[in-house]
Chain A
Amino acid sequence: MRTCLVVDDSSVIRKVARRILEGLDFQITEAEDGAKALEACKRGMPDAVLLDWNMPVMDGYEFLGNLRRMPGGDQPKVVFCTTENDVAHIARALHAGANEYIMKPFDRDIVTAKFQEVGLI
């Protein structure tokens, strides 16, 4: 079973994402900010990270930079999932190593399409 780390400071969003991704046969772990997500990645690299941008302690953009510099940190497919829905943010995310980008609000169809796009479904 593939694993996905869901990183978002909103417990509601984490719950919705968990429900969708479990329905797509992913095993889910959760983190509420970038720092906790990095700790989770040190314990074990997930196959995918669903990543919010704006979070306390460490935001998603900073997390992504740190992740990609870690040993094995180039492996997880990173899908941003954020309310930052302008071209400038999308371009920054792609430049930093994001594989896909979801603009909130999202639903099951969008998550499925994006995870298909990165080859995990």
Chain B
Amino acid sequence: MTPLDYEYLRKLLKERSGLDLSADKQYLVESRLVPLARRSNLAGIPELVQKMKGGAEPLTSEVVEAMTTNETFFFRDKIPFDHLKELLPGLAQARAARRSLRIWCAASSTGQEPYSIAMLLKEMTALFTGWRIEIVATDLSQAVLEKSRAGLFSQFEVQRGLPIQMLVKYFVQKGELWQLNADIRGMVQHRQLNLLQDLSHLGTFDVIFCRNVLIYFDQDTKAGIFAKIARMLEPDGVLALGAAESVVGITNVFRPYPDRRGLYQPSSAVARAGAAPHVLKAVASAAR
């Protein structure tokens, strides 16, 4: 790969997906794109780049998808899910009048995260009987969304983070694979979405999981996405970020949730708490 080819790919990936590759990531590009070039009957990356420059849009989309990281597993890092479980009774109390809850998993990859939330909610059925629960799973990659929709996971995948009791309770064995029951799959809606584009059509949410995706973006892009997410989160809503991510030094629109590592709340909620404390108090008291 020539330095010019690498620069072309860096620029394209930044524009299309926000992926911010440093100058020393040629090895990563080669490891992901050489197999793609061969599958496309091209000799290597220079030929791949040449074809992309010629306007091969489906190939360009495949390149962007191949460069995104889809590492995920059920109940990843565990703590955010434990926190969510503790906060849900308060949210239920705060939403008792409207009896609906909207949760968004941005960059949901192959589905382990939204389905973990779906199972967690299923375990709390008594709290949400008769409620309209929406879990919206979005990702840039159509391929991972299709895998997620199918709800089929390998033996390896169901053993990373998923308690064995939940495997028995919510999955059916299909040969070498395990498939989530239809009622859990039915709780999750899938949509293709690029976080760099307008997100307002998704509406507002009570809980947003945006984990292990912003680490790939530069500071300005992160700040822009945080600003968009803040407009989509209810004032007393909760944002969950990945274990290696934070808002500190990037944006003031969110603040760390007190005593809840990995969770954040809109800064406006902190200011509003003095004037209209009932909702936050309900969430806080249930959290204790």
- Chain A positions near chain B (C-beta within 8 angstroms): 85-87, 90-91, 94, 100-103, 106-107, 109-110, 113-114, 116-117
Contact = CB atoms under 8 A, between A and B. Distances in A.
B132 interface: no
Contacts of A106: 159
Contacts of A100: 163-164
B159 A116 contact: no
Contacts of A107: 156
B168 A90 contact: yes
A87 B173 contact: yes
Q: Chain A: interface secondary structure?
A: helix
A117 B168 contact: no
A113 B168 contact: no
Contacts, number: 32
B167 A90 contact: yes
A90 B168 CA distance: 8
Given A94-B164, A117-B163, 17 more contacts: A85-B155, A86-B173, A87-B168, A90-B167, A90-B168, A91-B168, A94-B165, A94-B168, A100-B164, A106-B159, A109-B160, A110-B156, A113-B159, A113-B160, A114-B159, A117-B161, A117-B164
Interface of B: 73, 78, 155-156, 159-161, 163-165, 167-168, 173
B164 A90 contact: yes
Contacts of B156: 107, 110
Contacts of A117: 161, 163-164
B167 to A, nearest CB: 7
A96 to B, nearest CB: 13
A101 B164 CA distance: 6
Nearest to A117: B163
15 contacts: A90-B164, A90-B168, A91-B168, A94-B164, A94-B165, A100-B164, A103-B155, A103-B159, A107-B156, A110-B159, A110-B160, A113-B73, A113-B159, A113-B160, A114-B159
B161 A113 contact: yes
Contacts of B73: 113
Nearest to A107: B156
Nearest to A99: B164
A15 to B, nearest CB: 21
Nearest to B165: A94
Closest 7 CB pairs of A and B: A101-B164, A110-B159, A113-B160, A113-B161, A100-B164, A103-B155, A117-B163
A10 B275 CA distance: 67
Contacts of B167: 90
Nearest to A109: B160
Nearest to B73: A113
Contacts of B161: 113, 117
Contacts of B159: 102-103, 106, 110, 113-114
